[in-house]
Amino acid sequence: RKLHERIYDYDVYNDLGNPDHGENLARPVLGGSSTHPYPRRGRTGRYPTRKDPKSEKPATEIYVPRDENFGHLKSSDFLTYGIKSVSQIVLPAFESAFDLNFTPREFDSFQDVRDLFEGGIKLPLDVISTISPLPVIKELFRTDGENVLKFPPPHVVK
Flag whether 147 is in a domain.
no
9 and 37 in a single domain? The answer is yes
Number of domains in the chain: 2
Identify which has the larger pLDDT, 139 or 42: 42
The CATH number of the domain where 46 resides is what? Answer: 4.10.375.10
What does R_g of the chain's alpha carbons equal in angstroms?
26
Flag whether 17 is in a domain.
yes
Per residue in 63-93, pLDDT tens?
777 888 788 778 777 877 787 777 777 776 7
- Domain stop point among 63, 91, 117: 63
So what's the pLDDT on residue 32?
85
pLDDT mean over 12-16: 86
81 and 32 in a single domain? The answer is no
So what's the pLDDT on residue 99?
65
Distance CA 134, CA 122 (A): 20
Which residue range is the domain that position 77 belongs to? 72-140
Question: What percent of the chain has pLDDT above 70?
Answer: 58
Give Cα separations from 135 to 70, 71, 88 (angstroms): 14, 12, 20
5 and 28 in a single domain? The answer is yes
pLDDT mean over 135-157: 60
**Whole-number average pLDDT of the chain:** 73
3-state secondary structure of 123: coil
Specify the DSSP class assigned to residue 4.
G
So what's the pLDDT on residue 67?
80
109 and 129 in a single domain? The answer is yes
So what's the pLDDT on residue 133?
56
Q: Reply yes or no on whether the pLDDT at 144 is more than 70.
A: no
Per residue in 39-69, pLDDT tens?
888 878 888 899 988 889 888 787 777 888 7
Identify which has the larger pLDDT, 72 or 136: 72
77 and 136 in a single domain? The answer is yes
| Closest C-alpha to 10, from 48, 47, 37, 50 | 37
Distance CA 23, CA 55 (A): 13
